């Protein structure tokens, strides 16, 4: 079962998501919360796999709650939850900040229920629900990279991994990277997996955000 925490200040939205989750044999609603503070407490108590996080809430907002969830200590053998930001607008500065904070992607509140269910399953499998290219565009529109680049942060990568890292950071797909680097697509996938492990990142989306945050692309 994929354990889900729903966070939104609108009771109607929370109830609707609860009904949707209850209709699925592999998904379980373990808790719901109306504020960021409640979300942090509920996540600590219920240990969800995936969190659907509203951005704009009274008190502690969804961005701050996401940062707390992803930096909180986890028990031995455990893992931080995957966070999907739920928003009204696609091109939103707060969404860009949430991606930089480590969210695995976003869905809009008017998304089709089947898309939302697929998004939950996708992030639980370790993938993202926003294309890396869209992430790059979002960050370029709403945030500025640091002025001084930090290439030392990727010093652990091999020369080939650095090359693929920079291509992935620009939002290129595996096929596009393979064509640019003159390697097989399966080789790209292997390198990307190694890059994620060495840098402690969860997804291709985080590769883009990491590179942007530290002035490695622009």
Token output for 163? 């090359």
Domain CATH for 164:
1.10.10.10
**Nearest-CA neighbor of 128 among 199, 66, 202?**
202
Contact 6, 83 (CB under 8 A): no
**Per-residue model confidence (pLDDT) at position 17:** 94
40: in domain: yes
| Single residue among 98, 119, 143 that ends a domain in this structure | 143
Residue-wise pLDDT tens for the chain (218 aa)?
A: 999 999 999 999 999 999 999 999 999 999 999 999 999 999 999 999 999 999 888 888 888 999 899 888 887 877 889 999 888 765 557 777 777 778 888 888 888 898 889 889 988 887 766 655 566 666 666 556 555 778 888 999 999 999 999 998 887 888 889 999 999 999 999 999 999 899 988 777 778 878 877 888 76
Range of the domain at 189: 151-213
pTM above 0.85, yes or no: no
Q: What are phi and psi of 37, to 5 degrees?
A: -60, -45
Do 128 and 37 sit in the same domain of this protein? yes
**Per-residue model confidence (pLDDT) at position 171:** 77
Please state, in angstroms and rounded to a whole number, the distance separating the CA atoms of residues 215 and 204. 17
Do 53 and 139 sit in the same domain of this protein? yes
218: in domain: no
Do 184 and 121 sit in the same domain of this protein? no
**Per-residue model confidence (pLDDT) at position 90:** 58
Do 23 and 119 sit in the same domain of this protein? yes
Do 23 and 115 sit in the same domain of this protein? yes
Do 115 and 133 sit in the same domain of this protein? yes
Do 18 and 111 sit in the same domain of this protein? yes
Question: How many C-beta atoms lie closer than 10 Å to residue 65's C-beta?
Answer: 28
Please state, in angstroms and rounded to a whole number, the distance separating the CA atoms of residues 196 and 217. 17
């Amino acid at each position: 079962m994929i354990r889900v925490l729903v966070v939104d200040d609108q009771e109607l939205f929370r109830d609707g998501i609860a009904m949707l989750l209850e209709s699925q044999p592999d998904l379980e609603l373990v808790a719901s919360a109306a504020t960021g503070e409640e979300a942090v407490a509920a996540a600590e108590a219920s240990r969800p796999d995936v969190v659907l996080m509203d951005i704009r809430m009274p008190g502690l907002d969804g961005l701050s709650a996401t940062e707390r969830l992803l930096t909180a200590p986890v028990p031995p053998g455990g893992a931080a939850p995957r966070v999907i930001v739920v928003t009204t607008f696609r091109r939103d500065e707060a969404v860009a900040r949430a991606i930089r904070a480590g969210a695995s992607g976003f869905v809009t509140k008017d998304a089709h229920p089947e898309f939302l269910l697929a998004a939950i399953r996708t992030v639980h499998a370790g993938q993202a629900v926003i294309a890396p290219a869209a992430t790059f565009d979002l960050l370029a529109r709403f945030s500025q990279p640091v002025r001084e680049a930090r290439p030392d942060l990727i010093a652990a990568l091999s020369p080939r991994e650095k090359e693929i890292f920079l291509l992935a950071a620009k939002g290129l797909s595996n096929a596009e990277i393979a064509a640019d680097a003159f390697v097989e697509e399966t080789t790209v996938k292997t390198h990307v997996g190694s890059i994620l492990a060495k840098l402690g990142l969860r997804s291709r989306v985080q590769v883009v955000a990491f590179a942007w945050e530290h002035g490695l692309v622009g």
